[in-house]
Structure 1
Amino acid sequence: MKTTTLPFLLFFLISSSILVAQNATIRGVLLDTSNTPISGANITYGSEGVLSDLNGYYLLEIPSNQKITVTYSYVGLKNVELSITLKPNANYEFNPVLKTDEIQIGVVELSAKRNKRIEGVVTISPEAIRKIPGANAGVENLLKSLPGVNGNDELSTQYAVRGGNYDENLVYVNEVEVYRPFLIRSGQQEGLSFVNSDLTSNVDFSAGGFQAKYGDKLSSVLDITYRQPVDFGASLDLSLLGASASVEGISNDGKLTGILGLRYRDNSLFVNSKQTETNYKPTFADAQTYFTYKFNNKFELSFLGNVSINDYQYEPLTRQTNFGTLTDPIALLVFYEGQEVDRYNTYFGALKGTYVLSDNYTAKVIGSIYQTQEQEHFDILAQYRLGEVNTNIGDENLGEVEFTEGIGSQLTHARNDLDALILNLEHKGNINIEDNNIEYGIKYTHEDIRDRVQEYEIIDSAGFSIRPPLPDFANNQPYSPYTSPIVPYTEIRAKNDVQIDRISGYAQYSRQYDLDNSELWVNAGVRAHNWTVSGQNITSTTQTTFSPRAQVTLKPKWDMDMLFRLSGGLYHQPPFYRELRDSTGTVRPDVKAQQSVHIVLGNDYSFKLWDRPFTLNSEAYYKKLSDVNPYTLENVRIRYRANNNAEAYAYGLDVRMAGEFVIGTESWISFGYLKTEENIDDRGYIFRPTDQRLKFGALIQDYVKVVPNLKGYLNLTYNTGLPGGSPSYADPYDYQVRLPDYKRADLGVSYVIVDKDNLRENGWLRVFKEFTVGAEIFNIFDVQNSITNTFVRDIYTKVQYSIPNYLTPRVFNVRATMKF
Structure 2
Amino acid sequence: MTTYAQAQQEPPIIYGVMVDEDVKPIVGVSIYYDYKGKRETATTNKNGVYRLELPANEAVDVYFAHHDFKLSVIEGVQLKYGDKFRFDSQMFSTLDVLVIDNTNKREAEGLVAIQPDMVAHIAAATNDISAILKTFGSTNNNNELSTGYNVRGGNYDENLVYVNDIEVYRPFLIRSGQQEGLSFTNTAMVKNIAFSAGGFQSRFGDKLSSVLDITYRKPTDFGAALEATFLGGSLTLEGASKNKKWTGIVGARYRDNSLLVNSQDTETNFKPTFADIQSYVTFTPNDKWEFSFLGNVSQNKYHYQPLYRQTNFGTVDDPQALIIYYDGQEKDEYKTYFGALTSEYKVSPDFRLKLIGSLYHTQEQEHFDILGQYLLGEVDNNLGSETAGQVQFPRGVGSQLNHARNNLDALIANVELKGYYEIAKNAFEGGIKFTREDFRDRLYEWEVIDSAGFSINPPFIDAPNDQPYSPYNGPLVPFQNVRALNYVTINRLSGYLQWSRRDALSSGDTLYYNLGVRAHQWQVQQETGPDGKSQVVFSPRAQFAVKPNWNSNMLFRLSGGFYYQPPFYRELRDQNGVVQPDVKAQRSIHLVAAHEYGFTLGGNENANGKVSPSKKFKLVTELYYKDMDDVNTYTLENVRIRYRANNDATAYAYGLDMRLNGEFVPGTDSWISFGYMKTEENINNRGYIARPTDQRLKFGLLFQDYMPAIENLKMYLNLVYNTGLPGGSPSYADSYAYQSRLNDYRRADAGFSYVFAGPQVTKSDAKWLQPFKELSVGLEIFNLFNNLNSITNTWVRDVYTKNQYGIPNYLTTRVFSLKLLARI
Question: Fold conserved (TM > 0.5)?
Answer: yes
Q: 2:105 aligns with which of 104, 110, 115?
A: 115
Is 1:514 matched with 2:504?
yes
1:664 corresponding residue in structure 2: 667
**Counterpart amino acid of 2:638?**
N
Shift in Å at residue 578 of structure 1? 0.4
Q: How does 1:285-324 map to 2 (within 5 A)?
A: 285-324=275-314
C-alpha deviations, 1:475-534, integer Å up to 9, x for none?
Answer: 599999854321100000011000000000000001122334322111000000000100
Inter-partner Cα distance in structure 1 for 2:153 and 2:19? 35
Is 1:732 matched with 2:735?
yes
Secondary structure of residue in 1 paired with 2:286: coil
C-alpha deviations, 1:395-444, integer Å up to 9, x for none?
Answer: 45432222322210000000000000000000000011111110000000
Inter-partner Cα distance in structure 1 for 2:260 and 2:304? 13
Q: Is the 8 A contact 1:335 1:384 kept in 2?
A: yes
Of residues 419-428 and 381-390 in structure 1, the stretch that sits farther from structure 2 once superposed is 381-390
Is 1:794 matched with 2:798?
yes
Inter-partner Cα distance in structure 2 for 1:311 and 1:214? 33
Q: Is the 8 A contact 1:73 1:79 kept in 2?
A: no
Q: 2:690 aligns with which of 687, 691, 709?
A: 687
Of residues 408-417 and 719-728 in structure 1, the stretch that sits farther from structure 2 once superposed is 719-728
Is 1:566 matched with 2:586?
no
Q: Is the 8 A contact 2:758 2:774 kept in 1?
A: yes
Secondary structure of residue in 1 paired with 2:531: strand
1:273 corresponding residue in structure 2: 263
After superposition, the Cα gap between the structure-2 partners of 1:42 and 1:209, relative to the gap in structure 1 and judged at 3 Å, is closer
Secondary structure of residue in 2 paired with 1:590: coil
Q: 1:709 aligns with which of 699, 712, 721?
A: 712
Shift in Å at residue 802 of structure 1? 1.2
2:572 corresponding residue in structure 1: 580
Inter-partner Cα distance in structure 1 for 2:225 and 2:502? 42
Shift in Å at residue 759 of structure 1? 4.9
Inter-partner Cα distance in structure 2 for 1:752 and 1:304? 32
Is 1:634 matched with 2:637?
yes
Inter-partner Cα distance in structure 1 for 2:519 and 2:549? 37
Inter-partner Cα distance in structure 2 for 1:557 and 1:414? 63
Q: Is the 8 A contact 1:390 1:399 kept in 2?
A: yes
Secondary structure of residue in 2 paired with 1:709: strand
1:91 corresponding residue in structure 2: none
Q: 1:525 aligns with which of 512, 516, 526?
A: 516
Inter-partner Cα distance in structure 1 for 2:334 and 2:395? 40
Inter-partner Cα distance in structure 2 for 1:188 and 1:371? 22
Secondary structure of residue in 2 paired with 1:229: coil
Inter-partner Cα distance in structure 2 for 1:591 and 1:73? 62
Is 1:432 matched with 2:436?
no
5+ unaligned residues in a row in structure 2: which ranges? 1-12, 32-43, 53-71, 78-83, 94-98, 603-613
C-alpha deviations, 1:755-784, integer Å up to 9, x for none?
Answer: 355556655444433210010111111000
Inter-partner Cα distance in structure 2 for 1:535 and 1:183? 20
Of residues 794-803 and 698-707 in structure 1, the stretch that sits farther from structure 2 once superposed is 794-803
1:465 corresponding residue in structure 2: 455
Q: Is the 8 A contact 2:103 2:547 kept in 1?
A: no
Q: How does 1:50-449 map to 2 (within 5 A)?
A: 76-78=48-50, 114-393=104-383, 395-449=385-439
Q: Is the 8 A contact 2:635 2:730 kept in 1?
A: no
Q: Is the 8 A contact 2:403 2:447 kept in 1?
A: yes
C-alpha deviations, 1:229-263, integer Å up to 9, x for none?
Answer: 11111011111000111011110011001111111
Q: Is the 8 A contact 1:420 1:448 kept in 2?
A: yes
Of residues 491-500 and 793-802 in structure 1, the stretch that sits farther from structure 2 once superposed is 793-802
Q: Is the 8 A contact 1:77 1:101 kept in 2?
A: no
Q: How many residues align?
A: 746
After superposition, the Cα gap between the structure-2 partners of 1:703 and 1:646, relative to the gap in structure 1 and judged at 3 Å, is same
Shift in Å at residue 77 of structure 1? 4.1
Inter-partner Cα distance in structure 1 for 2:110 and 2:74? 32
After superposition, the Cα gap between the structure-2 partners of 1:110 and 1:150, relative to the gap in structure 1 and judged at 3 Å, is closer
Inter-partner Cα distance in structure 2 for 1:800 and 1:397? 26
Inter-partner Cα distance in structure 2 for 1:262 and 1:40? 36
Shift in Å at residue 96 of structure 1? 5.5
Q: Is the 8 A contact 1:773 1:815 kept in 2?
A: yes
C-alpha deviations, 1:789-819, integer Å up to 9, x for none?
Answer: 1111111233321110000001001111111
C-alpha deviations, 1:423-471, integer Å up to 9, x for none?
Answer: 0000000011111110000000000000000010000001100011225
**Counterpart amino acid of 1:574?**
P
5+ unaligned residues in a row in structure 1: which ranges? 1-32, 45-49, 57-71, 81-93
Aligned-pair identity in percent equals: 59
2:96 corresponding residue in structure 1: none
After superposition, the Cα gap between the structure-2 partners of 1:113 and 1:223, relative to the gap in structure 1 and judged at 3 Å, is farther
1:557 corresponding residue in structure 2: 549
**Counterpart amino acid of 1:665?**
T
2:480 corresponding residue in structure 1: 490
1:812 corresponding residue in structure 2: 816
Secondary structure of residue in 1 paired with 2:389: coil
Q: Is the 8 A contact 1:41 1:73 kept in 2?
A: no
Of residues 289-298 and 387-396 in structure 1, the stretch that sits farther from structure 2 once superposed is 387-396
Is 1:596 matched with 2:588?
yes
Inter-partner Cα distance in structure 1 for 2:579 and 2:360? 22
Shift in Å at residue 562 of structure 1? 0.6
Secondary structure of residue in 1 paired with 2:533: strand
Q: 2:724 aligns with which of 721, 726, 729?
A: 721
1:10 corresponding residue in structure 2: none
Inter-partner Cα distance in structure 1 for 2:252 and 2:384? 52
Is 1:779 matched with 2:783?
yes
Secondary structure of residue in 1 paired with 2:104: helix
2:625 corresponding residue in structure 1: 622
Is 1:697 matched with 2:697?
no
After superposition, the Cα gap between the structure-2 partners of 1:718 and 1:669, relative to the gap in structure 1 and judged at 3 Å, is same
Inter-partner Cα distance in structure 2 for 1:666 and 1:220? 24
1:548 corresponding residue in structure 2: 540
Secondary structure of residue in 1 paired with 2:119: helix
Secondary structure of residue in 2 paired with 1:539: coil
Inter-partner Cα distance in structure 2 for 1:521 and 1:157? 34
CA RMSD of aligned residues (A): 2.8
Of residues 700-709 and 324-333 in structure 1, the stretch that sits farther from structure 2 once superposed is 324-333
After superposition, the Cα gap between the structure-2 partners of 1:269 and 1:481, relative to the gap in structure 1 and judged at 3 Å, is closer
Q: Is the 8 A contact 2:575 2:731 kept in 1?
A: no
Secondary structure of residue in 1 paired with 2:630: strand
After superposition, the Cα gap between the structure-2 partners of 1:311 and 1:386, relative to the gap in structure 1 and judged at 3 Å, is same
Secondary structure of residue in 1 paired with 2:710: coil
**Counterpart amino acid of 2:292?**
S
Inter-partner Cα distance in structure 2 for 1:519 and 1:297? 33
C-alpha deviations, 1:681-718, integer Å up to 9, x for none?
Answer: 00110000000000000000000000000000000000
After superposition, the Cα gap between the structure-2 partners of 1:100 and 1:338, relative to the gap in structure 1 and judged at 3 Å, is farther
Of residues 387-396 and 506-515 in structure 1, the stretch that sits farther from structure 2 once superposed is 387-396
After superposition, the Cα gap between the structure-2 partners of 1:124 and 1:324, relative to the gap in structure 1 and judged at 3 Å, is same
Secondary structure of residue in 2 paired with 1:725: coil
Secondary structure of residue in 2 paired with 1:781: coil
1:650 corresponding residue in structure 2: 653
Secondary structure of residue in 2 paired with 1:724: coil
Q: Is the 8 A contact 2:100 2:598 kept in 1?
A: no
1:609 corresponding residue in structure 2: 601
Shift in Å at residue 320 of structure 1? 0.3
Q: Which runs of 4+ in 1 moved over 6 A?
A: 97-103, 108-113, 476-481
